[in-house]
Chain A
Amino acid sequence: MIYGVILNDAASLKKIGSLDEAPYKGAPKAPVLYIKPANTQVADGAVVTLPAGASAVEIGATLGLVMGRAASRLSADNALAAVEGVVLAGDLSLPHSSYYRPAIREKCFDGSLPLGALKPLGDIAKLTLVTEIDGQIVAQRAFADLIRPPAQLLADVTEFMTLARGDILLVGVSYMAPQAAAGSQVKISADGLGSLQFTIAQGAQQ
């Protein structure tokens, strides 16, 4: 199973602004998690067809921590020992401005999670992910400003749910990540992690 988290970086929290009013009524306390089910996972080179009626998609470039063993109630001190490695991920979402309700149609359509090859886990705080759409750089994202860096995120998530070997935990997407239109070629890359490429295709008419 694949889990992800939103609002896990200072830049995104700054961009979304005040969370004190309805519907949120306060900043999140626990990690804000979502699930990318089995139908979302595709490999490098995939053609991702958007759901009917959608014409653009947010490219949530991020990293996935791949679990090397069952992990429950980890402490941040040793959490990384349970991680086998890291993958590049393109967490695709239909644009949604509200995080109040689960975004199943927006985040769980077929093919909405291209994943790269497994690489050794290094210090991700030193990484920069580059997103290109049709050869143009549209985003460069660092991981130095995570609210919960990988070890703390694993500790807080496994406090109430066990991750199984092979499960993946995505460390966070940017709020309002760049959008790609149908027909775009997308490339996500980082030094030492290679690249992940995929094509966005128009879905059926509504």
Chain B
Amino acid sequence: MKHGRIAWQGAIHEVTPAGDGKLRLADGRYVAESEVVWLPPVAVNTVFTLALNYADHAKELAFKAPEYPIVFLKGPNTIIGHKALTRRPADATYMHYECELAVIIGKSGYRVSKERAMEIVAGYSVANDYAIRDYLENYYRPNLRVKNRDGCTPLGPWMVDRDDIADPMKLTLTTRINGKTTQTGTTADMIFDIPALIEYLSSFMTLAPGDVILTGTPEGLADTKAGDVIETEIENIGCLINTIADDATFFAAAR
């Protein structure tokens, strides 16, 4: 089953797809997708992100594959839903997307072995982990000014139940800018797979429901410009759409 979260008619609703561009609310009502505001499919707790977790991407950035997972964290300020605007500041010269499989934790776990790791997974979603490389510094890299900006991590539209995905380590990832494919890859190329990441993180901290692990991105980075429509898609999980806005558009839209 696919689960979404939307704002509509003055309330937040959990929804499921009903076909024909419609969504079904828990109370049985239907609403057209075009009428709703999409929220991230879960209210996030701790958000982990992997750097250099695809061998080809590590090579692309001229790094050796890491010996242990390189993990950084994100705050709730950076997470936004499907079909929202993300700001490209006026001084940015290189702002790239990163299509990533998001693993949503459903149960608490501490010191969880690889063998049992999937038991605490609730499902999967799609994330777009934008980075503005102009702000990159070599302290706790990638630093928060690059990776934890307001609204720079779209997530959604759906959470797909774990048991609906036979093999999460064999999914195609695709990113398109204005309809043109610029990034393709497969989750099979992850250096540390989902069970390894859960075992590593839970070796020193308790994972909790609502925690989300963004598992890294394959090669194929490209700059995005104001007005670009970015689609990050993962096979059987969903297609997440986001639009880049310049400062004038972004702050006008906020008024």
Contacts and interface: CB of A to CB of B under 8 A. Distances in A.
Interface residues of A, number: 38
A99 B206 contact: no
Contacts of A24: 138-139
B160 to A, nearest CB: 25
Looking at A24, A30, A72, A110, the one whose CB has the most chain B CB atoms below 10 A away is A30
Contact of B71 (A7, A28, A102): A102
B73 interface: yes
- Give the interface size class of chain B: 20 to 34
A33 B144 contact: yes
A101 B204 contact: no
B131 to A, nearest CB: 13
Interface string A164-194: 1000000000000000000000000000000
A79 B108 CA distance: 37
B110 A110 contact: yes
Contacts, number: 108
B149 A161 contact: yes
A85 interface: no
A14 interface: no
Nearest to B142: A102
Contacts of B78: 161
A72 B144 CA distance: 15
A22 B45 CA distance: 34
Interface of A: 1, 3, 6-7, 23-26, 28-30, 32-35, 37-40, 51-52, 72, 99-105, 108-110, 160-164, 204
Interface string B74-90: 11111000000000000
Contacts of A33: 140, 143-145, 148
Given A52-B203, A72-B150, A101-B70, A34 B140 contact: yes
Contact of B77 (A25, A38, A164): A164
B186 interface: no
B72 A110 contact: no
B171 interface: no
A163 to B, nearest CB: 8
B78 to A, nearest CB: 7
A25 B150 CA distance: 27
- A-side interface mostly: loop
A65 B48 CA distance: 24
Contacts of A32: 137, 139-140, 143
Interface in B97-146: 110-111, 135, 137-145
A38 B78 CA distance: 16
12 contacts: A1-B77, A3-B144, A28-B139, A33-B145, A35-B75, A37-B73, A38-B208, A51-B204, A100-B138, A102-B140, A102-B142, A164-B77
Contacts of B70: 101-102
A3 B76 CA distance: 12
B46 interface: yes
Nearest to A23: B138
B68 to A, nearest CB: 9
| Nearest 6 interchain pairs by C-beta | A51-B204, A37-B46, A35-B73, A102-B72, A32-B139, A109-B204
A108 B46 CA distance: 11
Contact of B45 (A29, A38, A160, A163): A38
Interface string B21-49: 00000000000000000000000011010
